[in-house]
Structure 1
Amino acid sequence: MQGLAVSNLSLLLALFLVVVAMGISVREKLDLHRDIIYAILRAIIQLTVVGYVLKAVFHVANIFLTLTLTLIIILNASWNAYQRNGRQKRGFIYSFIAIFSSTTVTIMILVLSGSIRPVAQQLVPISGMIASNSMVAIGLAYRAMRTQFKQQAQQVNEMLALGATGFQASRAIIRESIKTGMQPTIDSAKTVGLVSLPGMMSGLIFAGVDPVYAIKYQIMVTFMLMSATSIGSVIAIYLSYRNYFNDRLQLVLPEE
């Protein structure tokens, strides 16, 4: 790999960057230094384990093992999204359906278009990128929906009293929640290349790939993330808004 050599000593020296963050936490009395230590230790352990797992999966090159690992990624993303939704009834199932759908639809389009090949070295990293971005978008959408229902409880109840269905009473909230989930991806697409050089493009450039060739892959990533976050947000919100109504079509706000 041209121009990129990370040794154990290099990582140890780079640890100074974490010390800087901890120093800021202590200096400003943010009380984040313990969280920083925990996060760094967890990241090191998780990445090390994943690195060896991926090495084994890539070596075996078995499609069923690859799909199993992809499913594990989706399940983990679904669980995290579910926790961000206040552990509502059927929340995990709804999150899984949304992330599974957004990931599989996007991956299928990429494979059929020839953008990626159905091999572990490409499917697993791309699936992780899609599932993680869907998870974040869905989490933001869930949070926005909870906030909107609390702020607009009176309006929703008034519409229900006038004979509106749960969907009719929630339509504005649904739209705003989906918009909130999609907005970060849209904002990121507006600034990509001018403000930020994202991971896919930077990684390829580090590896010595022609920047123009790397740009094509980054454009593909932008397309797939836009698709994944929109599909995931729409499915998750349309499935989960029903949790805010009981069988008698009364508004039920979640407990704190």
Structure 2
Amino acid sequence: MTPFVTIVAVAVLAAITLAVVLALRLEHPWLQPWAVLRAVVQLGILSVILGGVISSRWLVAAFLAVMVIAATWVVYRRLRVDARFLLPIVGTVMAASAVPLVVVFATGAVAFSPRYLLALGGIVIGNTMTVCTLMGRSLGALYLSQRDEMEAWLSIGATPRRSALQAVRSAASTALIPSTDQTRTTGIVTLPGAFVGAVFAGASPIQAAQFQIVVLAAILAAGALTAASFTGVFGAPEVLPLDERPLGGRRAPSVSRAPHRIGP
């Protein structure tokens, strides 16, 4: 496949996406084509950089650190949280990604080489970012929709964390649905990228399947750890919102009725 053919195919697919989004009158109709353009530019730069990175574990580690920072920034911008939550989000992404990677390489399931470290690390970090975003958005909406129920718990002496327990569980379950469904339907509905890439690289289908199973298990473990960490950070809200507002924010929304403060 030549670069020209690739560009043509991507341009046509982006145009189809834009046409459908405009026809449906969705919010931010240019967001998807812009994402495609960014992916083209970023992957082009990445392809050049990886030529000098892939042979060094230290350079790969540095590159993964950049990924963690970028993932944190995406979550921060998506959820519009206070700046005081930046470090907890960084810690969540790092810890939830590191634990599965340590298990995979410590057990010898995958050889500890720069190539595999970069591939597996990038996949796990990306999934952690997605779970953070999905759980954060769901949690913010549930705090609003379940406000009355949470106030009832508080009125009988429950702690903020106990009053938010049902909302947190629902948000965590929602955030884990994509990775869970991907794992359940692998080989039936989808052919995962890691499996296809390994086959194209010359691995046998059995070897590719072994690698893909490890990847899927690492993704699920990272997602569960992300949900647990996110629960610790955002699972005891300081105020109950009256309308949509940044998750974990302290400031009351500009309405006539003040939000219910449940922190000290």
Q: TM-score, normalised by structure 2?
A: 0.83
Q: Structure 1 residues 175 and 23 mapped into 2: Cα distance closer, same or farther (>3 Å)? A: closer
The range that moved more, 176-185 or 146-155, is: 176-185
> What pairs up with 1:55-204 in 2 under 5 angstroms?
55-59=51-55, 61=56, 63-204=57-198
Alignment correspondent of 1:47: 43
2:245 counterpart residue number: 255
- Matched residues in 2 for 1:35 and 1:178: separation? 26
RMSD of Structure 2 on Structure 1 (CA): 2.4
Give, in angstroms, the shift of residue 162 of structure 1. 1.6
The question of 1:7 aligning with 2:2 is answered: yes
- Could you list the per-position Cα deviations for residues 178-198 of structure 1 after superposition, in whole angstroms to 9, with x for gaps in the alignment? 111112211111111001001
Change in Cα spacing, 1:27 to 1:142, as seen in structure 2 (3 Å) is closer
In structure 2, give the amino acid aligned to 1:233: A
Unaligned residue ranges in structure 2 (runs of 5+): 247-264
Assess, with a 3 A threshold, how the Cα gap between structure 1 residues 22 and 232 changes in structure 2: closer, same or farther: closer
Q: How many angstroms apart in 1 are the aligned matches of 2:69 and 2:22?
A: 39
- Paired with 1:110 and 1:26, the residues of 2 have a C-alpha distance of 40
What are the within-5 Å matches in structure 2 for residues 237-256 of structure 1? 237-242=231-236, 244-245=237-238, 250-252=239-241, 255=245
Greater helix percent: which structure? 1
Partner Cα distance (1:29, 1:139) in 2: 24
Divergent runs of 4+, >6 A: none
Aligned partners of 2:32 and 2:235: how far apart in 1? Answer: 35
Q: Matched residues in 2 for 1:110 and 1:23: separation?
A: 40
Counting matched residue pairs gives 244
Amino acid of the residue matched to residue 13 of structure 2? V
Gaps of 5+ in 1: 1-5
Higher relative contact order (CA 8 A, sep 6+): 1
Is 1:213 the counterpart of 2:203 in the alignment? no
Q: 1:16 to 1:38 in 2, by over 3 A?
A: closer
**How far does the alpha carbon of each residue in 1:192-247 deviate from its partner, in whole angstroms, 9 at most, with x for none?**
100100100111222332212211111111111110111011101221223x21xx
What does residue 258 of structure 2 align with?
A: none
Question: Which string of whole-angstrom CA distances, capped at 9 and with x for unpartnered residues, describes residues 104-147 of structure 1?
Answer: 10110011011223332111121110011111111111111111
State the shift of 1:33 in Å: 7.0
Q: Distance in 1 between matches of 2:122 and 2:65?
A: 10
Give the conservation status (yes or no) of the 8 Å contact 1:205–1:214. yes
In the alignment, the residues of structure 2 paired with residue 94 and residue 196 of structure 1 have an alpha-carbon distance, to the nearest angstrom, of 34
* Among 20, 23, 27, the residue aligned to 1:28: 23
Is this contact kept in 2: 1:156–1:170, CA < 8 A?
yes
Equivalent AA in structure 2 for residue 42 of structure 1: R
TM-score normalised over the length of structure 1: 0.85
2:252 is matched with which residue? none
Deviation at 1:30, TM superposition (A): 4.8
